[in-house]
Structure 1
Amino acid sequence: MAPVIFITGGARSGKSRLAERLAGSFGMPLGYVATGAAGDGEMAARIARHRQRRGDAWTTIEEPMELAAALRENDGRFAAVLVDCITLWLTNLLLAYDDSTRCLDQVKELTAVFPHLATPIILVSNEVGMGIVPENRLARRFRDLAGEANEMIAAAADEVHVTFSGIPLRLK
């Protein structure tokens, strides 16, 4: 069983940079599973910044929904695979299914794959539950879904890190 590393933290807290550094420590080649899509100009710019920072050393696999399948299909192809990010994946699932239970079933499927992978996996997720209670139902459902999913993934991971203001802390 390859190591599974989970990294969480706030927006723009250094999660992806830490994940990229940890992935690189496993050697080359590197895989990057991108769960987000460029739905608008701002998101396209974010994706471009991430790609530029990573450079040509990474092979990008775009998979907005079938994350467990993407990890199984690419197992053994890379020295490490970085999944960025769980939060966008959960957004895609919630908008497609409109059912938190079905989304959490996908998280269970994801964590069930971990023990069978030969490739180290690094997963990045936002910590969205440390602020105020959102004003609308969808935002509250998402906050709760993300919290439950992060808890499930953290429990299944070998290592868990959190980043605050660019400073990583290892929790597990």
Structure 2
Amino acid sequence: MTRHCLVLGGARSGKTAFAERLALHAGSRPAYLATADILDHEMRDRVSSHQASRGERFTTIEEPTELSHAILKAGGKHDVILVDCLTLWITNLLIANADVATAVSELCATLVEFHQAKVILVSNEVGLGIVPDNAMARTFRDLAGSAHQRLAEICDDVYFIAAGLPLTMKGDAPPALN
């Protein structure tokens, strides 16, 4: 049975690097499902840096909003799908005035039924800091927190990354990933 995984952590905590090592350990045909929507030069530079660090090890699939569809499609060709990242996906949905709760429900339903490939979801834990000072930021924090809770419930393994080190929150300890 395929074990889906949720990797949470703060910005620059090492969660993507950990998830990439986990994906390369888990399969021989990994896909990197990128949710970033390039809106400015700074984001373009970040995406280029991520792509350069991955090299040719992953097939990159770019999908900013239709995550469930992209996972289903990638499952036909790949044995592991790394989704980076859910908080960018939620941002893209908010910008598009989409119903985030419905999209998260669709993603959860997809993952429960999806066994063609291991899915590793990466997301920023944004609820550890101060309460945001504006309604939009509080809404974003609340939506991300709700999504994380729902996904943690259905994923077999959940890790929290701090200072590049994984803390197993649920499931099996990560394999040695050198």
> TM-score higher than 0.5 here?
yes
> What's the counterpart of residue 63 of structure 2?
63
- 1:76-87 equivalences in 2 (<5 Å): 76-87=76-87
Is it true that 1:163 corresponds to 2:158 in the alignment?
Answer: no
Give 3-state SS (helix, strand or coil) of 2:54's partner: helix
Query: Which amino acid counterpart does residue 80 of structure 1 have in structure 2?
Result: V
Query: Which amino acid counterpart does residue 66 of structure 1 have in structure 2?
Result: E
> What's the counterpart of residue 25 of structure 1?
25
> What's the counterpart of residue 137 of structure 2?
139
Give 3-state SS (helix, strand or coil) of 1:109's partner: helix
Taking the aligned partners of 1:71 and 1:27, their CA distance within structure 2 comes to 15
The Cα offsets for residues 17-59 of structure 1, whole Å up to 9 and x where unpaired, read as 0100000012322101110122111111111111111111211
Q: Tell me if the contact between 1:28 and 1:57 (Cα under 8 Å) persists in the aligned partners.
A: no
Deviating beyond 3 angstroms after TM superposition, the runs of 4 or more aligned structure 1 residues are none
Query: Which amino acid counterpart does residue 138 of structure 1 have in structure 2?
Result: M
Give 3-state SS (helix, strand or coil) of 2:33's partner: strand
Taking the aligned partners of 1:70 and 1:18, their CA distance within structure 2 comes to 22
> What's the counterpart of residue 36 of structure 1?
36
> What's the counterpart of residue 88 of structure 1?
88
Superposition RMSD on alpha carbons, in Å? 1.1
Is it true that 1:110 corresponds to 2:107 in the alignment?
Answer: yes
Match of 1:127 among 109, 125, 128: 125
Shift of 1:104: 1.0
Identity over aligned residues, as a percent? 47
Number of aligned residue pairs: 169
Q: Structure 2 stretches of 5 or more lacking a match?
A: 171-178
Give 3-state SS (helix, strand or coil) of 2:8's partner: strand
When you count helix as a share of all residues, which structure comes out higher? 1
- TM-score, scaled relative to structure 2: 0.91
Q: Tell me if the contact between 2:37 and 2:92 (Cα under 8 Å) persists in the aligned partners.
A: no
- TM-score, scaled relative to structure 1: 0.95
